[in-house]
Amino acid sequence: MSDNPDDERIEKLREERMEELKEQQSEGQGEGAEQARAQRDAQKKAALRQHLTDGARQRLNSVKMSKPQFGEQAEQQILRLAQSGRVQGKIDEEQMKSLLQELKPDSNSYNVTRR
Per residue in 22-61, pLDDT (tens digit) is 887 777 676 777 888 888 888 888 888 888 999 999 999 9
Domain with 12, as residue range(s), is 1-51
Q: Which pLDDT score, from 0 to 100, does residue 2 have? A: 52
47 in the same domain as 57: no
Residues 6+ apart with CB under 8 A from 52: 60, 78, 90, 91, 96
How far apart CA 75 and CA 102 sit, in angstroms, is 13
Regarding pTM above 0.75, the answer is no
95 has pLDDT over 80: yes
Q: Dmax of the chain from CA atoms? A: 98
All residues at 6 or more sequence positions from 81 whose CB lies less than 8 Å from its CB, including other chains: 87
Percent of the chain at pLDDT > 90 equals 23
Q: Structural domain tally of the chain? A: 2
* pLDDT for residue 110: 67
| Residue 69 and residue 26 share a domain | no
Same domain, 47 and 9: yes
> Among 13, 78, 16, which residue's Cα sits nearest to residue 51?
78
Q: CA separation (Å) from 31 to 16, 23, 27, 40, 65?
A: 23, 12, 6, 14, 27
- Give the residue among 93, 86, 100 at the shortest CA–CA distance from 57: 93
